[in-house]
Amino acid sequence: MRRDIFQAISDPTRRAIITLIALQAMTPNALAEHFHTSRQAVSKHIKILVECEVVKQEQIGREIYYKLEVEKMKAIDQWLEQFRKIWEDKYNQLDNILSTFKNKKS
């Protein structure tokens, strides 16, 4: 099954895992300590994140560490950029209307 970045961020637990490993690489056990679910449930989320290529695993000794693929996260930012311009334009229009309204009251 082909997965994409948006499947990775669609779940709150996966977003929390991304937030945790954005700060530092972590083992599955270290990640599981942050959640009130089973280690297996966290592992399933990690598997999806790996399939979406949002995180990659790196073996150091006997431990597997997961770290964030920053380049993949940039895809989200690029997709949102198109909407950011629209939002900024709408806010600027609203600001202009409010300024005009305020000036008329004065």
Q: What is the pLDDT of residues 85-97, one digit of tens each?
A: 899 988 888 888 8
Q: What is the pLDDT of residues 6-36, one digit of tens each?
A: 989 999 999 999 999 999 999 999 999 999 9
CATH of the domain at 42: 1.10.10.10
Average pLDDT, the chain: 91
Range of the domain at 70: 5-105
- The structural domain count of the chain equals 1
Specify the pTM. Answer: 0.77
Residues 6+ apart with CB under 8 A from 52: 3, 4, 5, 7, 8, 72
The predicted structure's pLDDT at residue 30: 95
- Other residues' Cβ atoms within 10 Å of the Cβ of residue 45: 22
